[in-house]
Structure 1
Amino acid sequence: MASVASTDGRDGLEQWVEAKRRPADRIGVSSTPTGLRFAFYGRTSTVRHQDRTTSQGRQREAAELLIDGWGTIVGSFFDTGCSRRVPWRARKQAAQLLDLVASGGVDAIVVGEYERAFSGTQFQSMYGWFTRHGVRVWLLPETDGPVDVGDPDHRALLSLLGAQSQREVLRARHRVLAAMHNQAAHQGRYLGGRPPYGYRLVDAGRHPNPDQARWGRRLQHLAPDPVTAPHVAWMFAERLAGRSRSRIARNLNARGVPCPSQVDPGRNRHRAGGVWTLRTVAVILANPRYTGRQVWGRRPAGSDSAHGPAVSRDIAHPALVSEEDFLAAQQIRSARAAKDGAIRSYALAGLVRCGVCARRMDSHWVHDRPGYRCRHGHSSACQPTTERPKTIYLREDHLIDRIAAHFGDPDDLDGRGHARARVVAAELRATGSIVVCDSGGVIVVSERDVSPDSEREPKTNASLK
């Protein structure tokens, strides 16, 4: 049997259910409608974890409950995937609502949920604009009607709501970041995102959260991609052999090796081009996840984040390079070829600091041997001044002799010449030390105690005068 429709458009069953409700439960705040034209505004921050239809319906229902008997909603505006911190003019739907207000198309705005619409002091800053256009804002359940900033209770309530909305964001962010930090460091969990080049995602078993598991969600972890993993291992081997990143990129392009955007275009829609670049190679060689450790938080989620990077205590997935080789690859500094085609090597590059101006000394090749100099900021593009300190120049072999004597008996160091220089440089990096030079001598100091803005007399470990 077909349902019987009522005169107001509702079917018989809906009308019967409404009639069975107690009088106190029925919607109604006024029996004398004034016919105000309302614009409804709502918002949801995400589209992946929230259903727009459900969220919009819930907020719209709350708004209709508030204005029942006072008027009708003539325009509905609902932003999705937009943070509450974004100003209204920068929100697509909110901006359209403001244009409607400016044109006189509505008499009032009704908001289904304050925390969805405003953040911090946004409401106070916009209230004057609404008032100038003759529009009042209605809130439920905070004011149960139009907001009146002339009312001390309303002013206090709005201040509390603004602080509460901000607190909600900060607390939610802190809880999420703390949980993700723990999952990465103590559980080695894969926390989403694009898998690094050389890896693919495989099933890691049942989700530990019972509710998530009942919905069918499962964990994932990284596993070597049989096609691309050998290329990553080759890149690290080439880097350890002293090859430059640009040379590695040229070799990959020459051999026709697919770059990350070609291998996984679905996850790399933001990348254009289908060739290897120096930047792509550099990012791969600097990714610690190739050691088998799960790493999270290398790029902080915000300046107010209290959580640093998390590195899993145990191996979380198969490694493509050992930790020793990965750390060694980070210390490689490829030398450029000179005009005559020769490769000039500076073992102490980046480890020698000027004791006069605190600048890093330039690598400088003179009389067929490496050295280091500092011109204290002077260049050939400007005229020298009488106040500029005299240029400092030191030969690398003289520096090596002094530093080697500081670390122990020079005879204990393996090799001579370049091999000996590499051993000394490795010892400096291992101990976190640098060499500070001036006209008075040479000292070895902790790198933590020296910065361009520090005093000219750093804390020293030893003097090598």
Structure 2
Amino acid sequence: MSDNPHDDLDAPLTRWLSSQPQADPQPPHQRRRGLRFAFYGRMSTVEHQDRVTSRHWQWDCAIELVAAHGVIVAEYFDIGCSRRRSWRQRPQAAALLAALDDPDRGFDAIVIGEYERAFSTNQLQHLAPVLEQHGVQLWLPEMHGPVDHQNPTHQALIMMLGAQSKREVQRARFRVVTAMRAQAREQGRYLGGRPPYGYRLVDAGPHPNTAHARWGRRLQSLEPDPATAAHVRWIFTQRLDGHSLASIARALNDASTPCPSNVDPDRNPHRNGNWWTLRTVAAILANPRYTGRQVWNRQPAHTDTSSPQREPLRRNPTKDWVVSTHQAHTALVSEQDFVAAQAIRSHRSAHDGTTRRYLFTGLLRCGPCGRRLESHWVNQRPGYRCRHGRTSTQQTTNPRRKILYLREDHIIARLADHPLLPSGIQAPHDLVTLLRSKKITIVCDQEHCTPTTE
């Protein structure tokens, strides 16, 4: 059956029900259209909510509110949008705002089924001037009618509803995060996401929650993938033998070894799946789940929805990681070898056999683009550069942005007596030791080097 309440008006049963006498038929003189309303509703997720159910209860609340004042003539319903997104970032809400500019828009007011479905925190305060500019009322069930933004009582109620909406999200997040921490630490439970390269998902039995088990939900766990597990073991072996990330990546590409996005393209639609990169090899070597322990909360659980730009992948501090108290799946590398691999810092060898060392490897970040600077030997000196994503196999993403080059001695000079660093540091090695111990990153551009703990 359609979720539109007007789709089945011509069905035989509907016609029969409509023809039956009503208990208190509305007198003809009371049947008037009144105001014309545009209905707005929203549901957060597609996987865990039913669109028909969510839409109908919001629709019914809106109908009950405006029944004696007019009719709903337009509908805007967002699916899969967090309430934290502003209205201009939600497709249907943005379409509703765009319709306000049309003098023939066909509606006089907007009606909401529930405040929390439409707004979060102070979003309504930001929207109010736009509605007032176009002379459009906003009707809320919590107000039992239109919102009067000049009424102190309404202002106080809107502030309370915004705080309540934020509290609802925070309380639900706290409960879910606390439960997931316990499940990962105590049970070693697989909590979703892409399985690491080298593993595949297998059935792990019925869900421990009885109700979920009756609905057919089952747990999943990781087991070594016969096609790729050996590649992971080989990568760790090569790294423990002192090979650089670049040499490991080149060897994998020369052997035509399928990279992670090639093996699992459905879960990696944002990657090309053609070759191994340094970042891919580094990510595998840094993943503690290959020790057989379940590890959760390595990455932030949510992103800033106010920015349309995709931010670079960042990791949570290791102190925030949740590690299972026991092995949850078959290990591909021992814990001792994994820890040893983290301590390896490969150094490039020059043509004359000497080793080139770079003090600030991994400590420098490009201010303009946010990428880490790569080591670069220039004019017989150690230096660092950022090509802003440009490689020999890819077109530059920003042809106007110049490559950032920095000499190591210039970086040391810029950091000397920096107000954000402790005074009295004599040797460059002492400076680097301090930066690593305090987890300080240096953000650089052509003119400045600024320490930051972000």
TM-score by length of 2: 0.72
Aligned residue type for 2:343: Q
Shift, 1:74, TM fit: 1.6
- CA deviation map 1:391-412 (0-9, x unaligned): xxxxxxxxxxxxxxxxxxxxxx
Match 1:315 to one of 319, 327, 341: 327
Does structure 1 residue 173 correspond to structure 2 residue 173?
yes
- The 5 Å alignment of 1:7-406 reads 10-13=14-17, 19=22, 31=30, 33-104=32-103, 105=105, 106-140=107-141, 142-301=142-301, 308-340=320-352, 342=353, 344=355
Three-state SS of the structure 2 residue aligned to 1:289 is: helix
Structure 2 CA distance for aligned equivalents of residues 97 and 222 of structure 1? 45
Shift, 1:139, TM fit: 1.0
Q: Indicate the larger mover: 152-161 or 291-300.
A: 152-161
- CA deviation map 1:305-353 (0-9, x unaligned): 999210000000000000000000011111201132x15287x9679xx
Whether the 8 Å contact between 1:245 and 1:282 is mirrored in structure 2 is yes
Q: Radius of gyration: which is bigger?
A: 1
Structure 1 CA distance for aligned equivalents of residues 11 and 340 of structure 2? 81
Relative to structure 1, the CA distance from residue 264 to residue 8 in structure 2 (aligned partners, 3 Å threshold; closer, same or farther) is closer
Whether the 8 Å contact between 2:260 and 2:273 is mirrored in structure 1 is no
Relative to structure 1, the CA distance from residue 192 to residue 110 in structure 2 (aligned partners, 3 Å threshold; closer, same or farther) is same
Structure 2 CA distance for aligned equivalents of residues 175 and 192 of structure 1? 17
Structure 1 CA distance for aligned equivalents of residues 217 and 410 of structure 2? 63
Three-state SS of the structure 1 residue aligned to 2:320 is: coil
Aligned residue type for 2:51: R
Shift, 1:121, TM fit: 1.1
Shift, 1:129, TM fit: 1.8
Three-state SS of the structure 1 residue aligned to 2:68 is: coil
Q: Indicate the larger mover: 312-321 or 44-53.
A: 44-53
Q: Indicate the larger mover: 129-138 or 212-221.
A: 129-138
Relative to structure 1, the CA distance from residue 12 to residue 447 in structure 2 (aligned partners, 3 Å threshold; closer, same or farther) is closer
Shift, 1:78, TM fit: 0.6
Whether the 8 Å contact between 2:33 and 2:71 is mirrored in structure 1 is no
Whether the 8 Å contact between 2:435 and 2:441 is mirrored in structure 1 is no
Three-state SS of the structure 2 residue aligned to 1:276 is: coil
Relative to structure 1, the CA distance from residue 328 to residue 201 in structure 2 (aligned partners, 3 Å threshold; closer, same or farther) is same
Aligned residue type for 1:316: A
Three-state SS of the structure 2 residue aligned to 1:317 is: coil
Shift, 1:13, TM fit: 3.7
Relative to structure 1, the CA distance from residue 316 to residue 450 in structure 2 (aligned partners, 3 Å threshold; closer, same or farther) is closer
Three-state SS of the structure 1 residue aligned to 2:73 is: strand
Shift, 1:62, TM fit: 1.4
Shift, 1:172, TM fit: 1.2
Aligned residue type for 1:274: N
Structure 2 CA distance for aligned equivalents of residues 58 and 438 of structure 1? 68
Whether the 8 Å contact between 2:265 and 2:273 is mirrored in structure 1 is no
Structure 2 CA distance for aligned equivalents of residues 124 and 61 of structure 1? 25
Three-state SS of the structure 2 residue aligned to 1:233 is: helix
- CA deviation map 1:123-146 (0-9, x unaligned): 122112212211111111x11111
Structure 1 residue ranges without an equivalent (≥5): 352-361, 365-376, 390-435, 454-465
Three-state SS of the structure 1 residue aligned to 2:138 is: strand
Structure 2 CA distance for aligned equivalents of residues 331 and 131 of structure 1? 61
Aligned residue type for 1:88: W
Whether the 8 Å contact between 2:350 and 2:356 is mirrored in structure 1 is no
TM-score by length of 1: 0.70
Shift, 1:102, TM fit: 2.1
Relative to structure 1, the CA distance from residue 449 to residue 40 in structure 2 (aligned partners, 3 Å threshold; closer, same or farther) is closer
Structure 2 CA distance for aligned equivalents of residues 171 and 216 of structure 1? 28
Shift, 1:282, TM fit: 0.6
Three-state SS of the structure 1 residue aligned to 2:111 is: strand
- How many residue pairs are counted as aligned between the two chains? 369
Q: What percentage of residue pairs aligned between the two structures are identical?
A: 52
Relative to structure 1, the CA distance from residue 242 to residue 343 in structure 2 (aligned partners, 3 Å threshold; closer, same or farther) is farther
Q: Indicate the larger mover: 227-236 or 34-43.
A: 34-43
Structure 2 CA distance for aligned equivalents of residues 170 and 138 of structure 1? 26
* Equivalence for 1:426: none
Whether the 8 Å contact between 1:6 and 1:12 is mirrored in structure 2 is no
Structure 1 CA distance for aligned equivalents of residues 265 and 427 of structure 2? 54
Three-state SS of the structure 2 residue aligned to 1:313 is: strand
Structure 1 CA distance for aligned equivalents of residues 140 and 440 of structure 2? 55
- CA deviation map 1:361-418 (0-9, x unaligned): x9x9xxxxxxxxxxxx987779x99xx99xxxxxxxxxxxxxxxxxxxxxxxxxxxxx
Shift, 1:149, TM fit: 2.5
Aligned residue type for 1:190: Y
Whether the 8 Å contact between 1:300 and 1:308 is mirrored in structure 2 is no
